[in-house]
Copies of this chain bind each other. A is one copy, B any other.
Amino acid sequence: MPAELVEKMLTGDQRALARLVSAVERQSAEVPEIMQRITPMLGHAYCIGITGPPGAGKSTITDRLTAYARQQGKTVGIVAVDPTSPYSGGAILGDRIRMQQHYLDAGVYIRSMASRGHHGGLSRAAKGVIKLLDAFGKDLIIVETVGVGQTELDIVAAADTTVLILVPESGDAIQTIKAGIMEIADLFVINKADRDGVERLQRDLQMMLHIRHASDGWCPPVLGTQAHKDIGIVELHEAITTHRRKLSETGQLATRRQQNRRQELLDLLQQQLMATLTAQFDDGEAHSGLLEQVEEGTVDPYTAAQQMLVENDDLWR
């Protein structure tokens, strides 16, 4: 069945795409076969990660970037892993109505993903959906996540260009943003740049960027936008294009994508090893003596883990 669906999807069938996306989202047993079949088709799309605190205007920027890309004749896929995004049913009604222009455009495919019920598999599922949209032939994929958790960080870290959106008021919010985002963002946007506090935020950002080690020879620009008035969107698009060109020319795009694929393999191995371990623990077969002692608190987990690993020195070779 996946074979047929994938074939249909590759001819441009949106319904087949939607069914495959659902299969990936619920982590169906068919995912490995689906991924195997679409692998030869991957690598065409350019993926932009948009992240930032709630209320920063991530969805409005996604909206305006999408409109601009459509004007340029590019097709767009949107993956919203953000409970505050209007694409995910959050935010105020006005936003959601505004977004509907894209829902009616066959050149835009929108998928919102709930952040609950994934049992740690959200990042894997989101990356799978991005691949499907790539195989489907989208030119541009925008993945929008709220920038607070490790999962969300993992997702945007897999994008080709990562954009962190802040607003003047979010000076203090910077603290609550996952620190790692500051280190992986390729572009910084101060949205609602007509408000008070822009200078302070800019100063804070510049200070942080100064600390950041520019090992890749890219100094992340800080842009100002007023997305709701469409101000600064063309400049943002240009900055993304500049970053893209630089990644391509230096070979870093290929390197980044290689690293992402390696990471994906590690994640899968980890998932499957842990599933094996947990099943054995639940069976109560292997190492049950030690496990029980850990549970009772008579043996510390460090000693137990060490002993279990020594007993299994043929673990992985």
Contacts and interface: CB of A to CB of B under 8 A. Distances in A.
A317 B312 contact: yes
The 4 closest A-B pairs by CB, nearest first: A116-B179, A32-B302, A149-B149, A268-B305
Interface of A: 31-32, 35-36, 39, 42-43, 54, 83-84, 90, 115-117, 120, 146, 148-151, 172-173, 175-176, 178-180, 257-259, 261-262, 264-266, 268-270, 272-274, 276-278, 280-281, 286, 291, 294-306, 308-309, 312, 314-317
A36 B295 contact: no
B268 A270 contact: no
A297 B262 CA distance: 10
Of A178, A259, A286, chain B has the most CB atoms within 10 Å of the CB of A178
A262 B291 contact: yes
A306 B36 CA distance: 12
Contacts of A270: 270, 273-274, 277
Nearest to A146: B176
Contacts of A179: 83, 115-117
Contacts of A298: 39
Contact of A149 (B35, B83, B178, B314): B178
Contacts of A172: 54, 84, 90
Contacts of A146: 176
A268 B314 CA distance: 18
A302 B277 CA distance: 19
A275 to B, nearest CB: 10
B176 A286 contact: no
Nearest to A309: B272
Of A54, A300, A306, chain B has the most CB atoms within 10 Å of the CB of A300
B277 A266 contact: yes
Contacts of A173: 54
17 contacts: A32-B302, A54-B176, A84-B176, A115-B178, A116-B179, A149-B150, A258-B295, A262-B281, A262-B295, A265-B291, A265-B301, A266-B278, A270-B270, A270-B274, A272-B309, A273-B315, A314-B314
Contacts of A291: 262, 265
A239 B178 CA distance: 33
A235 to B, nearest CB: 29
A316 B315 contact: yes
Contacts of A150: 120, 149-151
B176 A296 contact: no
B315 A276 contact: yes
A301 B151 contact: no
A269 B39 contact: no
A272 B43 contact: no
B151 A305 contact: no
Contact of A265 (B116, B178, B304): B304
A167 to B, nearest CB: 15
